[in-house]
Structure 1
């Protein structure tokens, strides 16, 4: 077998080998394991509320802790990964995820629960920035689009696995707030073993300079690609976030009780749709993926508004599927664009910027909608939110068309 000698570069990939495709797929596991942790607690909050007796306002603060940890992590983990390599970021990130999982199992106070959620956000931020970049780094030569597909689907697959795992274990085993996170510890330990063995190179000659703690960005030549991708992805991601925040409580109200399996099933349905659609549209050009993502987001918001107005479970499920498909298509187009256009030496930071931009909008608008619902009612607030997100999605798709024209 003939090997080609390559010079030292900032690429985190070893010379091409027969195992490159296999390692690209294995590199997705740390992202899946970390993302499972991101949504596993959601169906269990009602159990913690009953046990610890905290109000909904405190629950909002616990959610905010996760977003704070995630955004802080994204602000430096991508830069660290591009400067020092993927492994030095992934290993401590996954270790923090292990600490968070253990804290969830022993959480007997709001403080411990909030700390666990904060640490889980930090772990997820590290896994998303360095982990998705590692997947792209290990993509076979000339298959950057495939790397973008695997990176994108690993994110939403993990988000689907977590709540489904929680729902099933809550029904099958006692003490779900313990057993769920014991299983999560095992998932993270396997992820650590994968990271230790991944054929990733360090960044001895890194061209990434400047402060480590900064707003994630991309080279000037790639900023247009990032902004166009965010213009389509952020509204789609926000639509999914609102369905996730509203869905379980609405489902419980309509069905007359809270059930972790039903709540977890709704969340998993959304992310399963987001995963499946990416395989369906992977052969389409990026502009078509963007248009499809925006269109599905608009229709999904129409379905959500109708579901709330009519108190309809079937329409809620339709809204979840449409929102997931919209996010999946827009996310794939955005990550594929970044993987193809941004140099590998800045790819993790670009992924961080992309993810942080989506989370900023997804974390902000639903909070505003929550306060609005207290003032004008859930139906009116959902209608306002749906119109705003639909307009943003359509505007993003139009901007993408204009820029690419």
Structure 2
């Protein structure tokens, strides 16, 4: 009977709602700067707090849903997401902004494992591959839709800093109700285990695959971090586009292209998709750099689409190769290590952009960033092309 229940689509909706909350502040950072008064460096630090929270949760509680069940962890993630929205609604300075980003990072960390597993496990027999893509689409689609929703609401309503979060609270309430009625897929649940670091390690036999795969993931996530942290500042200060809906749509384009890129990975094959994704990512970064030099919004949009597509193509290939190469008894820890590297990529380079922007200005900082990430992506793609991992 469970196969007839809409468990998989419902779990995907919960996943998307939770992830949408993490990008709601993206188009609003300029408004927070004007209201509170802080530098571009502080914008990137506020953003990076999110990635630190995600990494911490992945390391400490990445396997909790295997122990206590999917539903309790999903409900906990929804609670953290609601608390994050509450922090932004009550914010009167940097402390609550930091708290809101920490809580949303915690929610994303819990959702990354529990929601992905729930979507796949609730799929009908023979639909596991499609369910895997549904989880990916929910993840990236939620991230893109959060920024798009916030940008439109902030631009065209009188309550730019509050209404997006009230809407999200309503969506979280609906998602929590859906979660309550989802079938539990973990048959033998236990009590909540104590908080302690889980096994995050890379076995020796995986290192040949892990190095180029994680480097490609780092570069791709750095691009995502650029668009979700400082792209609104680029569009307003460098390109002269002050419409918040446009900023939100730009972020949406990156994640939409990432989803489309991931959908092509199986057709291309993971071994070829990794260097191909890196090559497309480099092309996208070249377009981003060109947009800053030429002050062209069109080139920036093309860079978002091309770079996002390359990130998605390479990321799913990298994750597939690492997961296939890892021994079964160390697969969870190996994949967790992979995600730790990826989320480091979404934080450290972006903070570097903020620091350089304070010193040199946004345009030179953006050009240095794109050159650095292009070098990383080119190295990863070249290595993967010259020494492709063995088929599994």
TM bucket (normalised to shorter chain) is 0.7 to 0.9
With over 3 angstroms needed to count, the CA separation of the structure-2 counterparts of 1:192 and 1:342, relative to structure 1, is: farther
CA distance in 2, matches of 1:228, 1:203: 37
Q: Report how far residue 294 of structure 1 moved.
A: 0.8
Q: Report how far residue 44 of structure 1 moved.
A: 1.3
With over 3 angstroms needed to count, the CA separation of the structure-2 counterparts of 1:219 and 1:51, relative to structure 1, is: same
2:119, 2:131 within 8 Å by CA — same for their partners in 1? yes
CA distance in 1, matches of 2:341, 2:324: 19
Q: Does 1:301 align with 2:301?
A: no
Q: Report how far residue 165 of structure 1 moved.
A: 0.4
CA distance in 2, matches of 1:288, 1:26: 33
Matches within 5 A, 1:93-108: 93-108=77-92
CA distance in 1, matches of 2:327, 2:4: 23
Which residue of structure 1 lines up, in the alignment, with residue 100 of structure 2? Answer: 116
Deviates more, 1:22-31 or 1:136-145: 136-145
Matches within 5 A, 1:9-88: 17-19=2-4, 22-88=6-72
Which residue of structure 2 lines up, in the alignment, with residue 7 of structure 1? Answer: none
With over 3 angstroms needed to count, the CA separation of the structure-2 counterparts of 1:346 and 1:170, relative to structure 1, is: farther
Which residue of structure 1 lines up, in the alignment, with residue 389 of structure 2? Answer: 404
Q: Does 1:327 align with 2:311?
A: yes
With over 3 angstroms needed to count, the CA separation of the structure-2 counterparts of 1:144 and 1:118, relative to structure 1, is: same
Deviates more, 1:371-380 or 1:144-153: 371-380
Name the SS of the counterpart of 2:268 in structure 1: coil
With over 3 angstroms needed to count, the CA separation of the structure-2 counterparts of 1:350 and 1:188, relative to structure 1, is: farther
2:259 to 271, 275, 294: 275
CA distance in 2, matches of 1:143, 1:386: 39
Q: Report how far residue 160 of structure 1 moved.
A: 0.7
Deviates more, 1:220-229 or 1:137-146: 220-229
Q: Does 1:175 align with 2:159?
A: yes
Listed as ranges, the gaps of 5+ residues in structure 1 are 1-15
Name the SS of the counterpart of 2:63 in structure 1: helix
Q: Does 1:354 align with 2:335?
A: no
Listed as ranges, the gaps of 5+ residues in structure 2 are none
Q: Does 1:256 align with 2:245?
A: no
C-alpha deviations, 1:232-274, integer Å up to 9, x for none? 2221221232244342112112453533212111111111222
Q: Does 1:126 align with 2:114?
A: no
2:249 to 258, 265, 269: 265
Q: Report how far residue 215 of structure 1 moved.
A: 5.8
CA distance in 2, matches of 1:309, 1:215: 45
C-alpha deviations, 1:59-83, integer Å up to 9, x for none? 3442233222222222223122233
CA distance in 2, matches of 1:312, 1:275: 25
With over 3 angstroms needed to count, the CA separation of the structure-2 counterparts of 1:97 and 1:245, relative to structure 1, is: closer
Q: RMSD in angstroms over aligned alpha carbons?
A: 3.1
Q: Report how far residue 30 of structure 1 moved.
A: 2.2
Which residue of structure 1 lines up, in the alignment, with residue 171 of structure 2? Answer: 187
CA distance in 2, matches of 1:98, 1:50: 25
1:318 to 293, 296, 302: 302
TM-score, reference length from structure 2:
0.86
With over 3 angstroms needed to count, the CA separation of the structure-2 counterparts of 1:345 and 1:94, relative to structure 1, is: farther
Name the SS of the counterpart of 1:199 in structure 2: coil
Q: Report how far residue 152 of structure 1 moved.
A: 1.6
CA distance in 1, matches of 2:120, 2:206: 17
Q: Report how far residue 378 of structure 1 moved.
A: 4.6
Which residue of structure 2 lines up, in the alignment, with residue 5 of structure 1? Answer: none
